[in-house]
Amino acid sequence: MSTNPIPQTQAGERKKITVQTLRQMKESGQPIAMLTAYDYPTALALDQAGIDAILVGDSLGMVVLGYANTLPVTMEDMLHHCRAVARGARYALLIGDMPFMSYQVSVSEAVRNAGRFLQEASMDAVKLEGGRERLEAIRAIVSAGIPVMGHLGLTPQSVHQLGGFRPQGRLAAEAQHLVQDALSLQEAGCFALVLEAVPAQLAELITQRLEIPTIGIGAGPYCDGQVLVTHDLLGLFDRFTPRFVKQYAQLRRQMIEAFRAYKEDVERRAFPTDEHSLFMAEEEWQRLQEWMSDAFSE
């Protein structure tokens, strides 16, 4: 009997990944591959590549909308991009990232906003940042039937409080705090946990202690899964590339080359050619010519 936890029909066709699938993957030691997407074609490609989970991250504020950080991203921005992703992905687990101020103000607002991701944007789950200070909101969202992914370590929505995008948990006291937060998030009902920019030993320790899967980004190789911002992986983001990113392509360079080649072709009239044009049938063209001479003769 196969021990592969990735769901398949009897005919061997892929089935939709659920939060339970991720749990089974942890239990059977199968690494989870997650990436971000913000639009339809990327979601389609990730799904075709067999990526297990797609996060519509609020990183879209930086890599798609050009903001300096994720703080200006709104619920409406998130829902708009989530809808596009949901149209492209059929199999991957879809997770919508709750933006800054959508879950911090009150528990009832947090539940209402989490619900909008499922009800209005076809997401399967939500993610939110923070530890013990978020437990009440997480419990309420989970008890509304909405799966929640936690996010600890470098939590970009707290960039000003953290003093920049810097690694977390390097000191024993900080690490201890993170271990306690991770256990509390599990206890509050999170189905998985993102660990961002924390030492590899700490991520390993948390991963071993938790029953729910950990998904690392800049957290070393011992998490149950990994996530990257797709624009970083593809070499599409211009401002900086964090040390923990592995670039699998340099698409920005390829895009610039393609745009330059197009400009040159337009300037030297090498595009479009007959191959890219459509023509009237000869008799229709003749008719038009005749009409022109009648209509415009002096």
Active site residues: 196
Among 125, 197, 217, 234, binds ligand KIV (CB under 6 A): 217
Q: Are β-strands 148-153 and 125-127 bridged in parallel, bridged antiparallel, or unpaired?
A: parallel
Q: At what angle do helices 200-209 and 172-188 cross, to 10 degrees?
A: 30
Shortest distance in whole angstroms from residue 231 CB to ligand KIV: 9
Note whether 22 binds ligand KIV by CB under 6 A: no
Residue 58: closest CA among 44, 70, 46, 67: 70
Radius of gyration, CA atoms only, the chain: 24
Note whether 52 binds ligand KIV by CB under 6 A: no
Among 57, 96, 167, 225, binds ligand KIV (CB under 6 A): 57
Examine residue 272 and say whether the peptide bond preceding it is cis (omega within 30 degrees of 0).
yes
Total Cβ atoms within 10 A of residue 119: 12
Note whether 131 binds ligand KIV by CB under 6 A: no
Contact predicate 181/131, CB 8 Å: yes
Contact predicate 59/70, CB 8 Å: yes
Question: What 3-state class would DSSP assign to 195?
Answer: strand
Sign of CA dihedral 6, 59, 39, 191: positive
Candidates 40-48, 57-65, 98-106, 267-275: pick the segment binding ligand KIV (CB under 6 A): 57-65
Binding flags for ligand KIV, 239-268, as an x/- string (CB under 6 A): ------------------------------
Residue 79: closest CA among 121, 44, 139: 121
Q: Given the complex with ligand KIV, which of 38 and 91 has the nearer CB atom?
A: 38
Distance CA 234, CA 39 (A): 15
How many residues bind ligand KIV, per CB under 6 A?
Answer: 11
Note whether 46 binds ligand KIV by CB under 6 A: no
| CA distance between the termini of the chain | 88
Shortest distance in whole angstroms from residue 119 CB to ligand KIV: 21
Note whether 102 binds ligand KIV by CB under 6 A: no
Look up residue 270 and give its amino acid. Answer: A
Shortest distance in whole angstroms from residue 106 CB to ligand KIV: 23
Q: Given the complex with ligand KIV, which of 175 and 217 has the nearer CB atom?
A: 217
Task: Give the containing element (helix H, strand E) for 73.
Answer: none
Note whether 110 binds ligand KIV by CB under 6 A: no
Among 21, 30, 42, 59, binds ligand KIV (CB under 6 A): 59
Residue nearest to ligand KIV (CB): 57
Candidates 51-59, 88-96, 160-168, 240-248: pick the segment binding ligand KIV (CB under 6 A): 51-59
CA atoms within 13 A on the CB side of 172: 0
Q: Given the complex with ligand KIV, which of 153 and 189 has the nearer CB atom?
A: 153
Q: Given the complex with ligand KIV, which of 97 and 224 has the nearer CB atom?
A: 97
Note whether 195 binds ligand KIV by CB under 6 A: no
Note whether 42 binds ligand KIV by CB under 6 A: no
Among 17, 78, 126, 227, binds ligand KIV (CB under 6 A): 227
Contact predicate 148/137, CB 8 Å: no
Q: At what angle do helices 172-188 and 135-143 cross, to 10 degrees?
A: 20
Binding-site ranges for ligand KIV (CB under 6 A): 36, 55, 57-59, 97, 194, 196, 217, 227, 229
